[in-house]
Amino acid sequence: MTSISRVIIRCSLLLVAVISFQVNPNSSNAASLPEDLYALGYSQHSADGVDVSGAILHLRKQVLSQFSLGVSYRSEQLQGGASDQPRITQSFSNQIDSFNLNGVLLRDRGLLEFSLNGTDSDEYTSKGVTAAFTQEFFAGLQSLHLGLGHSKDQVNLRLGDQNDQIDRYSAHIGWQQVWSKTEKVYLDYQFITEQGFLADPYAESVLNGGSFDAKYPDYRTSHSLSLRYQRFLAKNSSASVQYQYYNDTWDIVGHLVTTQFQRKFKRDWQLQVNARLYTQTQAFFYSNNSPLNLRFLAKDKELSDFYNAGLGFNLRKRLSLIRHFFVEEAFLNIGYQASFFEFDNYELQGAPYSFQSDLLQVYLTAKL
């Protein structure tokens, strides 16, 4: 997966957090379909010389009494190139369009979910499918989640006539336990295996001061284990803390700690504040400047030793003036996330490198 696609995925994950953000400690634990809604929004992400901006449309509607159908479309413009992509000029631009179709079926205390997704751009096209099953036990005090996914990426290189593919398989298992009336614990494990052209086509390797094409392994398997604790507090608020451990066959080991606080003010306002700290070790074939002609070699900053700290918020306001016969509630969502990256052994012009990432999102959502 290229650095460009990783930027897009991060933006998409934050979008999901904004749309689903709510505080409701008194909600039922019984399995239920997701709420109907419309969502229209805009996001702007700037990091390390790359700007990504665009709009998203998301629709979700319950059909009959046991089925929910959702569809989303995202169109973004990418401009510029990262510091470890020297072959990309600041005038580089790319249009990226993404589509997702999602269906959820409610059966007793269980949910069956199926989704199709696709992404199209000049650099790559991707098609994927996921299936998931969630089952609750003991009146909703415990729940089990199982998921499987497969995607196929077609990488289109501008640097030559080569084309290559990436096959990606994933499996996920999660367990949720209601610890008390105000506490929940989540345990999750995810396995991903990838095979094919896994390199960033615009990255390079540096050997004895000279620049050459980067050489990546064509196979990668990763494991991720996370533990999350959530507590509902007084006055319609909640707090959570999560730890995640990651390792893969490229010898990367990562540790992620996140905290989150949510508060509902009166009837019309909700606030979410979050913080994160991530550290990782370098891949076995990463080098800022290698003296040896190795089989695999890359100067890709995301494969180096580095740490990342982030702080952000999401603010949600109920729009009481926007009411219609088919609109139950409407909300304005504003989010901002600042992230700081410090690299231990990735250097530019002989000095350690660092940068700040800024993500701004504005969304209008409505419950139907």
Q: Give the closest residue to 283 by CA, choosing from 338, 214, 190, 197.
A: 214
Task: With residue 16 as reference, give the H or E element that holds it.
Answer: helix 3-20
Residue 204 has a pLDDT of: 87
**CB within 8 A of 266, min separation 6: which ones?**
none
Task: With residue 148 as reference, give the H or E element that holds it.
Answer: strand 142-156
The Cα–Cα gap between 226 and 256 comes to 9
Model confidence pLDDT, tens digit, residues 117-171: 999 988 889 999 999 999 998 878 899 999 999 999 988 765 444 558 899 999 9
Task: Look up the pTM and report it.
Answer: 0.84
pLDDT band at 2 (very low <50, low <70, confident <90, very high): very low
Q: Is 201 exposed, middle or buried (0-12, 13-18, 19+ CB in 10 A)?
A: buried
Mean pLDDT, range 334-356, rounded to an integer: 92
The Cα–Cα gap between 285 and 16 comes to 34
State the CATH class of domain 3-34+106-367. Answer: mainly beta
**CB within 8 A of 64, min separation 6: which ones?**
none
> What one-letter code names the amino acid at 279?
T
What pairs with residue 241 in β-bridges?
229, 259
**CB within 8 A of 325, min separation 6: which ones?**
none
The Cα–Cα gap between 245 and 227 comes to 9
